Chain A
Amino acid sequence: MYKVKNYKEQDDITLIKLAQKGDEKAFEEIVNRYSNRVINLAARIMGSRDDGWDIAQEVFISVWRNIKSFDSTKNLYPWIRKITVNACYEELRKRGKGLESSLDDVEDGEPSIDVPDEKYSPEDTFDKIELNEVIEKALETLPEHYRVTLWLRVIENLTYEEIAETLNINIGTVKSRINMARKLMRDRLKYYLEVKDEPS
């Protein structure tokens, strides 16, 4: 094994190959490179930063254990992202929370799930907190499968096809979920969106 001086400068393929040979430093760089995205994604799916942190750790341990079987010609992050999504859904299933994703079928129309909006009250919060916090709070109150799909689109910048592949659903469902997520967001932010357009 040849010695690498600066792991930060190495591309993913080199890091994967080194990690496959047991190079811990290479793996460390992989963790450094992607941990923030993984924690954010896991936290968003789980609805808690602490859970996101814990799941992300399990994800990277799983990556380390399985890195030898990973095809180094493929992109690394989509694989890690897939592991993250699966780990989160597995955890939600264990806790009995993840069933809504498999049960929903919004492809052909409106979802039957009625979303209570108790946590977020724009009238109460508008004057107190900033726009981004209001939006984040609204995002947190979305059902998990809408939240995740929208997150993958907006933050991870995935195409509908890539989202479908990541979540093991079809493109029609992805499109429906994103539309519904945005509709719910818009409805919950209606007060703010109307106010912002009024002349001050």
Chain B
Amino acid sequence: MNHPSFEDLSSFIDKELPDWKIREIEEHIDICPTCRERLEDLLLIDQGIRASYQEFDTQTFTAEVLERIRPKPVSRYNFRLKLATIGLAISLIFGASLGIVRSRYRENLNREKQLLISQHNIISSGDMGVILISDR
């Protein structure tokens, strides 16, 4: 046979040729040093590619994958912290509101007190007309 083509040699090492063709190439290689050398070069390249296969640290890899698939645990500390923050905020709002209400109540009380004192002073002085006018 003629020298097999590069494509045939490539398919030959991949065992992707019909049996008769494989036999033909095998017989040719036995008698043709040029083709044998070409074939050896291709086999050498394949061998080098196989050697480039690396061993990775699969334990670390597996641990990282498992870490990522596991649901994240809810932290009790975070939950308590959130609860305390909310409680504190509510207390502050409540306290502030209470303070405002109390101060307004006191203001009103003082105003009433002042009014009563002034009315009392007027009554004591006997000028009832002023009271009627001031009531209006």
Indicate whether A and B interact: yes
Q: Which residues of A contact B (CB under 8 A)?
A: 24, 27-28, 31-32, 35-36, 39-40, 43, 49, 53, 56-57, 60-61, 64, 131-132, 134-136, 139, 150-151, 153-155, 159-160, 175, 178-179, 182-183, 185-186, 189, 193, 196-197
Please determine whether A159 and B16 come into contact, CB atoms closer than 8 angstroms.
Answer: yes
- Given A32-B58, A134-B48, A197-B37, A183 and B6 touching (CB < 8 A)? yes
Please determine whether B41 and A193 come into contact, CB atoms closer than 8 angstroms.
Answer: yes
B11 at the interface (CB under 8 A from A): yes
- Given A135-B51, A159-B16, A182 and B42 touching (CB < 8 A)? yes
A120 to B13 alpha-carbon distance, docked (Å): 26
Please determine whether A186 and B41 come into contact, CB atoms closer than 8 angstroms.
Answer: yes
B56's contact among A39, A64, A185, by CB below 8 Å, is which? A39
**Ordered nearest first, which 3 A-B pairs have the shortest CB separation?**
A135-B48, A132-B51, A136-B52
How far is the CB of A178 from the nearest CB of chain B, in Å?
Answer: 6
Please determine whether B66 and A56 come into contact, CB atoms closer than 8 angstroms.
Answer: no
Please determine whether B49 and A131 come into contact, CB atoms closer than 8 angstroms.
Answer: no
Q: Which residues of B contact A175 (CB under 8 A)?
A: 7, 11, 16
Please determine whether B51 and A61 come into contact, CB atoms closer than 8 angstroms.
Answer: no
A135's contact among B37, B52, B61, B70, by CB below 8 Å, is which? B52
Q: Which residues of B contact A150 (CB under 8 A)?
A: 49
> What is the interface size of chain B, counting residues whose CB is below 8 A from a CB of the partner?
31
Which secondary structure characterizes the binding site on chain B?
helix
For this complex, 12 residue pairs linking A to B, each with C-beta atoms less than 8 Å apart, are A35-B62, A36-B55, A39-B56, A57-B61, A57-B65, A60-B65, A61-B68, A135-B45, A154-B46, A155-B50, A185-B45, A193-B44
A155 to B68 alpha-carbon distance, docked (Å): 29
- Given A132-B48, A175-B16, A189-B45, A155 and B53 touching (CB < 8 A)? yes
Please determine whether A39 and B66 come into contact, CB atoms closer than 8 angstroms.
Answer: no
Q: Which residues of B contact A131 (CB under 8 A)?
A: 44, 48
A159 to B48 alpha-carbon distance, docked (Å): 20
Which of chain B's residues has its CB closest to A59's CB? B65
Q: Which residues of A contact B48 (CB under 8 A)?
A: 131-132, 134-136, 139
Please indicate which of the listed interface residues A32, A159, A179, A189 has the most CB atoms of chain B within 10 Å of its own CB: A179
B30 at the interface (CB under 8 A from A): no
B134 at the interface (CB under 8 A from A): no
